[in-house]
C-alpha cells in the first residue's frame, strides 16, 4: 500500500522526518518496503511563463515560444507542439539536463526544424502526474516564476508499506496514522465527518434479500452532479498511491477507500430500473465488469441488482452497464458491509482481485457506514456539486463489541518486555480500545484480528516498539551440544549433496497443483486432498507426486530455449490415509528432459535421455540414502504415468517399493505440453529401511584395502528370458565375504549359442582379506559362483 507524507499529515499532526516515520513504522510492525521521493524525478523542472508564441516557420503544428524561466536571464526559446500553448500562460519548463519521468529521455538543447529549442514545456503525463496529454500543464496566474516545480507541486515523499492480512484497519491512511500517534509520533486527527442534510427521499429503493452475504447496505442519491476531472490535489494523492485518476465521481470513491479503508460504489441512476437489491446470484447469470470482462456467476455469490439484472459483483467490482460517465447527472451511492469469507470465496472462484475485495475479505469497519457515506457525499458535492437525498438503510452491521479480560502482567510473560500498566492502558486507549478499572478491554469492531489476551499483548508490545524487545538466547545445558538433526533430516542433506554432485539442479515447486495435473498422478483408487480456501484454482489440489511440478519447470525451461533439464526436488507428497486422514510422505523426485549428450564431431547427432539414465540416478541416490542396492529387485508396474515398456520399480521383496523410474508415457508428456524425451525417478524415502540395531545403511568412511583385488570372468549360457540382474544378484551372493562386485560386460546370442539361450559374460571382483588368495582359494570361490548360477539354470560355457 502506498501513500504520501502530505496525505498522512491530514490525519497525523507531526513534525517527524521521513526517516523517523519510516523507522517508527517498522518498529510497530508496519514494514516499509520502500520510500520514493518524487521531487528527485522533478529535478530540473520549474515554473515558467510564456511571453510570446508564434507559428514555427517550417512546421504547421509547432510553435516557437519565448519563455521566462525566472532566473533573471534572457528569455529562452522553446519549440512546442501543444495546442494550448499561448502567450501569457504559466506552465512547467524542463531545462536541458533534466530527465523526463515518463520515458527517461534526457533533455538537451537541440534544433527542431532549424530552430534551437532550450528545453521542453511539459504535459501532465510526461511528468507522471496523471493521464492528460493533449496539452501542456497550465498553472494558476499566481504561480511564482522560477520556483522549482517539485516545491510548487508539493512533491511529497511516498511510503510503500506491507500490511499483513490481520490488519485491515491499516488498509487506509487514517488507520496508519492512528498507529503512529499511539506510538508517540504526533497527534491523531480523525477524519472530520460532515453533517449532511438530505432534502428529499432517495430516488431508488434498496433492500437485502434473505440469504445474501450482506448484513447492511446504506445508500443515498445525489441529483444534478457534474462529472469531470477530479481536483488536482486529489489526483496527486491518488497517483502517489498508485491509482489512475478516472473521473471525479470514481476518484471520490477511490479516495475514500484509500483514506479510510472503506470501499464504496457509485451508480449512474439513469441506468437503473426498479428497486436495487442485494441478493444471491442465479446460476448462469453474467455481468460485464468495469475491467471489460464478462463473468459468469453462481448461486454462492452475492450481487447488487435491479429488475433488469446484475449491476455489481458485491464487494469485488462494479458493472460496466451502470458505470458513471462524463454525461452522468444523477447518481446512487452504495456503502455496505459484506461477509468477509463469502467475498474471498467469490473472488477466488472468479479469479478477480481488486482493492475492494482485498479490504472486504479481510474485514472492514462495520460501524463506519454512516460516517463513510457522509464523507463520500461531501467529497462528491464539493467536487461535482449536486443535491443529496436522505440516507436509506437496509439491514444492520455486526457492531457488538468484543470484551476481553486482560492481565497487564501477561505482557512481560508473553512479550518479553516490561511495560508499566499505566503505559499499557494509554497504548490501548490510543488505539481506540476501552479499558475499565478491572481491566476489561472493549475492542473496537474494526479490529477483527483481536480474539484474546495474547492479541492485546501484541498490540502493547508492537506500539511500545518491537525493536525494544531484547534478544534472549534459549537456555542450554553445559557441555557440547548434541546433534539435533534427525536421521531423516541427515539423509535428506546427504541426498541433496549427492544429487547436486551428479549435476542435478535442485528445484522447489509448489505443494499445490491444478486438479487435472494432480489427478493424472494420483494413486489409482485414491482421492485427492482439495483445499477449501486455495490461493487460486490452479493451486487447489495437494500434490500426490513431485513429478508434476518438475514437469512444469522443465516445460518453462524448454519454452525459453533450454535444450535439456536435469532437476531434482526433495519434498512431501500428500495422500489420503486409510482412515481419510492426511498422509504426508517424504519423497525425492528426479526429472531428466531433452538432450543427454549434445551433438558433436565424435557422437554425431544429439542423444536424448532414456530409461537407463533414470535407473542410474535412482541406483546412485538410493545407495546414498543407505538402501541395500545389491539386494534390490527390478520389477514392472511403475504406474500409468510411465511408459509400460521402458519403466520399472526397485523393490526390497515383491511388495516393498523403494523407487520407480523410467521414461514417461507419451500421454503424460502431452498433458504437460512437453516435447521430446523425458524420464523420471520417484524415490520413496519413507520406505528406505533402517539398519538393524539402529542407524542406517549409510556407507561408513572409506578405508582402502591393504591387498589389491582380483578379477575373474565367467561366461554362462542362460535361458533367453532370464533377467541379467538375477544372474548378477546370484553371483554376488555366492560368497558375500570375498565377492565385492559383479557386472555384465557382454551379451551374445547367435552362432554357437543354442536356440532359446543367450550368453552372459560376468566380471567378478574378488577382494582378499588379510592374506593373498591361493589357487585353492580362487577355485573354491569360482565353484561357489558356478553353483549359484546353476540354481538359475545357467551353465558355464566351455
**Inter-CA distances, 446 with 178, 335, 402, 744, Å:** 13, 16, 11, 75
> What are the two backbone dihedrals, phi and then psi, of residue 395, each rounded to the nearest 5 degrees?
75, 180
* Distance of alpha carbon 490 from alpha carbon 495, whole angstroms: 9
Q: Which residues are annotated as a binding site?
A: 449, 455, 458-459
**Inter-CA distances, 10 with 13, 39, 192, Å:** 7, 20, 10
Contact between 65 and 116 (Cβ < 8 Å): no
Nearest by Cα to 735 from 699, 704, 692, 765: 765
Measured torsion, CA atoms of residues 159, 160, 161, 165, in degrees rounded to the nearest 10: 140
Q: Report CA torsion sign: 38, 43, 48, 52.
A: negative
* Distance of alpha carbon 780 from alpha carbon 56, whole angstroms: 110
* Distance of alpha carbon 375 from alpha carbon 243, whole angstroms: 20
Query: Which residues lie below 8 Å from residue 303, measured CB to CB, with a gap of 6+?
Result: 278, 279, 280, 281, 285, 287, 297, 310, 311, 312, 313, 314
Which cell numbers hold the place of 528? 485427492
Q: How many CB atoms lie within 10 A of CB 76?
A: 21
Which cell numbers hold the place of 454? 495474547
* Distance of alpha carbon 299 from alpha carbon 36, whole angstroms: 45
Nearest by Cα to 41 from 130, 146, 127: 127
* Residue 308 DSSP one-character state: S
Nearest by Cα to 268 from 335, 333, 354, 211: 333
Element (H, E) at 79: strand 76-80
Q: Exposed (0-12), middle (13-18) or buried (19+): which is 511, by Cβ within 10 Å? A: middle
Q: Exposed (0-12), middle (13-18) or buried (19+): which is 70, by Cβ within 10 Å? A: middle
Q: Which residues are annotated as a binding site for Mg(2+)?
A: 449, 455, 458-459
Contact between 414 and 454 (Cβ < 8 Å): yes
* Distance of alpha carbon 279 from alpha carbon 293, whole angstroms: 22
* Distance of alpha carbon 121 from alpha carbon 167, whole angstroms: 44
Contact between 285 and 306 (Cβ < 8 Å): no
Query: Which residues lie below 8 Å from residue 708, measured CB to CB, with a gap of 6+?
Result: none
Burial 571-602 (b: 16+ CB within 10 A, else e): bebbbbeeeeeebeebbbbbbbbbbbeeeeee
User: Any bridge partners for residue 276, and if so which?
Assistant: 206
Q: Coil, helix or strand for 215?
A: strand
C-alpha Rg value of the chain to the nearest Å: 38
Contact between 622 and 502 (Cβ < 8 Å): no
**Inter-CA distances, 174 with 12, 254, 370, 582, 606, Å:** 8, 14, 17, 44, 64
Q: Where are the alpha helices (DSSP H) in 385-486?
A: 410-415, 421-430, 453-465
Which cell numbers hold the place of 287? 455481468
Amino acid at each position: 500500500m502506498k501513500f504520501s507524507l502530505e496525505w498522512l499529515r491530514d490525519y497525523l499532526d507531526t513534525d517527524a522526518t521521513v526517516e523517523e516515520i519510516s523507522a517508527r513504522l517498522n518498529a510497530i510492525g508496519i514494514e516499509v518496503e520502500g520510500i520514493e521521493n518524487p521531487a528527485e524525478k522533478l529535478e530540473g523542472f520549474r515554473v515558467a511563463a510564456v511571453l510570446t508564441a508564434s507559428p514555427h516557420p517550417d512546421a504547421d503544428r509547432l510553435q516557437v515560444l519565448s519563455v521566462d524561466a525566472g532566473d533573471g536571464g534572457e528569455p529562452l526559446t522553446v519549440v512546442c507542439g501543444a495546442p494550448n500553448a499561448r502567450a501569457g500562460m504559466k506552465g512547467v519548463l524542463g531545462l536541458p539536463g533534466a530527465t523526463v519521468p515518463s520515458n527517461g529521455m534526457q533533455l538537451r538543447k537541440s534544433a527542431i526544424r532549424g530552430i534551437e529549442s532550450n528545453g521542453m514545456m511539459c504535459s501532465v503525463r510526461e511528468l507522471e502526474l496523471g493521464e492528460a496529454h493533449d496539452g501542456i500543464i497550465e498553472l494558476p496566474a499566481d504561480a511564482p516564476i522560477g520556483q522549482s516545480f517539485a516545491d510548487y507541486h508539493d512533491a511529497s515523499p511516498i511510503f510503500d508499506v506491507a500490511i499483513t492480512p490481520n490488519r485491515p484497519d491499516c488498509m487506509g491512511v487514517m488507520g496508519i496514522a492512528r498507529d503512529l500517534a499511539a506510538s508517540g509520533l504526533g497527534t491523531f486527527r480523525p477524519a472530520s465527518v460532515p453533517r449532511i442534510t438530505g432534502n428529499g427521499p432517495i430516488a431508488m429503493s434498496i433492500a437485502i434479500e434473505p440469504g445474501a452475504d450482506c448484513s447492511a447496505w446504506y445508500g443515498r442519491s445525489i441529483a444534478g452532479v457534474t462529472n469531470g476531472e477530479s481536483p488536482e490535489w486529489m489526483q496527486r494523492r491518488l497517483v502517489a498511491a498508485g491509482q489512475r485518476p478516472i473521473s471525479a465521481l470514481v476518484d471520490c470513491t477511490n479516495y475514500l477507500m484509500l483514506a479510510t479503508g472503506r470501499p464504496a460504489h457509485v451508480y449512474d441512476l439513469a441506468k437503473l430500473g426498479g428497486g436495487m437489491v442485494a441478493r444471491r446470484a442465479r446460476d448462469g447469470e453474467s455481468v460485464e465488469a468495469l475491467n471489460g470482462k464478462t463473468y459468469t456467476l453462481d448461486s454462492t455469490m452475492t450481487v447488487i441488482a435491479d429488475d433488469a439484472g446484475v449491476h455489481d459483483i458485491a464487494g469485488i467490482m462494479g458493472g460496466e452497464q451502470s458505470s458513471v460517465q462524463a454525461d452522468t447527472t444523477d447518481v446512487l451511492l452504495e456503502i455496505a458491509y459484506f461477509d468477509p469469507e463469502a467475498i474471498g470465496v467469490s473472488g477466488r472462484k472468479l479469479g478477480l482481485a481488486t482493492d475492494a475485495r482485498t479490504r472486504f475479505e479481510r474485514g472492514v469497519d462495520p460501524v463506519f457506514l454512516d460516517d463513510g457515506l457522509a464523507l463520500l457525499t461531501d467529497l462528491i458535492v464539493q467536487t461535482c456539486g449536486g443535491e443529496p437525498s436522505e440516507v436509506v438503510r437496509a439491514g444492520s452491521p455486526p457492531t457488538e463489541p468484543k470484551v476481553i479480560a486482560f492481565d497487564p502482567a501477561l505482557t512481560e510473560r508473553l512479550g518479553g518486555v516490561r511495560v508499566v500498566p499505566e503505559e499499557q492502558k494509554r497504548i490501548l486507549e490510543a488505539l481506540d480500545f476501552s479499558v475499565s478499572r478491572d481491566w476489561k478491554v472493549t475492542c473496537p469492531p474494526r479490529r477483527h484480528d483481536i480474539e484474546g489476551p495474547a492479541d492485546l499483548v501484541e498490540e502493547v508490545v508492537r506500539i511500545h516498539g518491537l525493536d525494544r524487545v531484547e534478544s534472549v538466547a534459549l537456555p542450554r545445558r553445559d557441555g557440547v551440544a548434541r546433534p539435533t538433526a534427525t536421521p531423516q533430516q541427515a539423509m535428506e542433506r546427504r541426498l541433496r549433496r549427492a544429487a547436486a554432485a551428479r549435476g542435478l539442479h535442485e528445484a522447489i515447486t509448489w505443494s499445490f497443483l491444478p486438479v487435472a495435473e494432480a489427478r493424472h498422478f494420483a494413486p489409482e483408487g485414491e482421492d485427492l486432498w482439495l483445499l477449501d480456501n486455495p490461493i487460486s484454482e490452479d493451486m487447489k489440489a495437494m500434490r500426490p507426486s513431485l513429478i508434476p511440478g518438475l514437469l512444469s519447470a522443465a516445460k518453462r525451461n524448454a519454452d525459453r530455449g533450454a535444450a535439456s533439464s536435469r532437476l531434482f526436488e526433495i519434498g512431501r507428497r500428500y495422500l489420503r490415509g486409510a482412515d481419510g486422514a492426511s498422509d504426508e510422505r517424504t519423497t525425492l523426485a528426479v526429472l531428466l528432459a531433452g538432450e543427454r549428450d549434445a551433438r558433436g564431431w565424435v557422437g554425431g547427432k544429439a542423444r536424448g535421455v532414456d530409461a537407463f539414465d533414470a535407473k542410474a540416478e535412482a541406483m546412485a541416490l538410493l545407495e546414498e540414502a543407505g538402501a541395500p542396492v545389491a539386494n534390490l529387485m527390478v520389477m514392472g508396474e511403475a504406474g500409468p504415468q510411465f511408459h509400460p515398456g521402458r519403466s520399472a520399480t526397485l523393490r526390497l521383496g515383491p511388495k516393498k517399493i523403494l523407487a520407480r523410474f523410467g521414461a514417461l508415457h507419451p500421454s503424460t508428456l502431452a498433458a504437460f505440453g512437453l516435447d521430446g524425451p523425458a524420464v523420471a525417478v520417484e524415490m520413496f524415502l519413507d520406505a528406505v529401511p533402517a539398519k538393524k540395531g539402529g542407524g542406517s545403511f549409510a556407507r561408513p568412511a572409506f578405508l582402502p584395502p591393504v591387498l589389491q583385488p582380483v578379477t575373474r570372468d565367467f561366461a554362462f549360457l542362460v535361458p533367453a528370458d532370464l533377467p541379467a540382474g538375477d544372474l548378477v544378484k546370484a553371483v554376488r551372493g555366492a560368497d558375500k565375504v570375498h565377492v565385492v562386485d559383479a557386472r555384465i560386460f557382454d551379451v551374445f546370442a547367435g552362432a554357437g549359442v543354442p536356440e532359446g539361450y543367450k550368453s552372459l559374460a560376468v566380471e567378478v571382483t574378488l577382494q582378499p582379506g588379510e592374506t593373498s588368495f591361493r589357487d585353492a582359494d580362487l577355485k573354491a570361490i569360482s565353484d561357489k559362483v558356478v553353483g549359484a548360477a546353476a540354481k538359475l539354470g545357467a551353465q558355464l560355457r566351455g
